[in-house]
Amino acid sequence: MLQNIVNALVLGSSYVMIAVGLTLVYGILKILHIAHAGIYAFGAIFAVYLCEIGLPLVFAVTLSLILSALLGMIIYKGFYKHVLDRGHIVPLVMSVGLFATMEDLYRLVWGPYKRPFDVYIDLPDVMTMDLYLSSRGLLMLIVTAVVIVLLYLLLMRTKLGKSLRACSNDLGLAGAFGINTDRSVAFAFLIGSSLAALGGILVGLYDNTVYPTMGSVPSYKAFVVVVLGGFGSIRGAVVASYILALVETFVVYYFGFLLPRDAIAFLTMILLLMFKPEGLFGKVRR
């Protein structure tokens, strides 16, 4: 029981990392940024590469996060920005194309192999009578907790956070009130992308494998979280991440459901879209 809850918390933390960026982007631009998971994989792959050539972990992670953030911004400035006025479908299809391109590039450059993330983490393994949590799982929980608190402070207590919230409320109106919306959106991509990369790194550490297609399932699964969380609400996304992880874990554990957990998530999403299209925590929008 306790073990299941802890497993679900770890799983949920990985969803939080990738879903926050998606939620920020969807909240402001109303586009489904599928290539986000390309950045998730990039962060992990690049961090492993830096560790392999001998950089210390902290340095490798920092560098990887910075580059991922820049990559996210390039995707916005170089691609999405130019097609925003063409409806929802054009950026979405473009995003699918971008994601396919990114994944294949990683495969060609890095090789199709799974590689271990071999580093030493200075944290103890948690082991009691009925609970086992590896040091890497512990690291994931701690980092996610810190990130959630920082994100809350950023959004609620800083000027940047205020402008982000304003943009998410109504982009045009925010612009009319003198907010530099282009800069806010760029910041949303910077923050979201570096969090996605951090998520990739943490998951890579936890599973101790990193591979080019590691973003495939999270890319679409994170949208389950965005839908559950009510489209564009960060708080909703965080809560939804953990709810989804708990539901998945317990359904698999108690019912031994005949489908894999990813299919459960997608089924949940389809049913939710059909019967409660505004999401669990969303306001009714029409």
Contact set with other proteins (CB under 8 A): 30-32, 79, 82-83, 86-94, 96-105, 108, 216, 220, 223-224, 227, 258-260, 262-263, 266-267, 269-270, 273-275, 277
What's the min distance (Å) between Cβ of 95 and other proteins? 9
How far apart are CB 276 and other proteins at their closest, in Å? 9
Beta partners for 131?
128
Residue 176: closest CA among 185, 166, 186: 166
* Minimum distance, C-beta of residue 83 to other proteins, in the bound complex (Å): 6
Closest CA to 91 of 110, 108, 76, 112: 76
- Three-class SS of residue 94? helix
Beta bridge partners of 11: none
Whichever of 190 and 224 has its CB closer to other proteins, that residue is 224
- Which residue's CB is nearer to other proteins, number 35 or number 188? 35
Task: Identify how many contiguous H helices and E strands the chain contains and give both numbers.
Answer: 12, 2
Provide, rounded to whole angstroms, the least separation between the CB of residue 135 and other proteins.
32
CA end-to-end distance (rounded Å), the chain? 41
Residue 87 or 116 with smaller CB distance to other proteins: 87
Q: How far is the CB of 186 from other proteins (least distance, A)?
A: 19
Encoded tokens for 55: 């950089």
Least distance from C-beta 123 to other proteins, angstroms? 35
Our CB check for other proteins shows the closer of 34 and 179 to be 34
175: amino acid identity, one letter = G
Q: Which is nearer to other proteins, 146 or 259 (CB)?
A: 259
The one-letter amino acid code at 202 reads: L
Give the residue with the Cβ less far from other proteins, 103 or 248.
103
Asked whether 162 and 2 are in contact (CB, 8 A), the reply is no
Backbone dihedral angles phi then psi of residue 31, each to the nearest 5 degrees? -115, 150
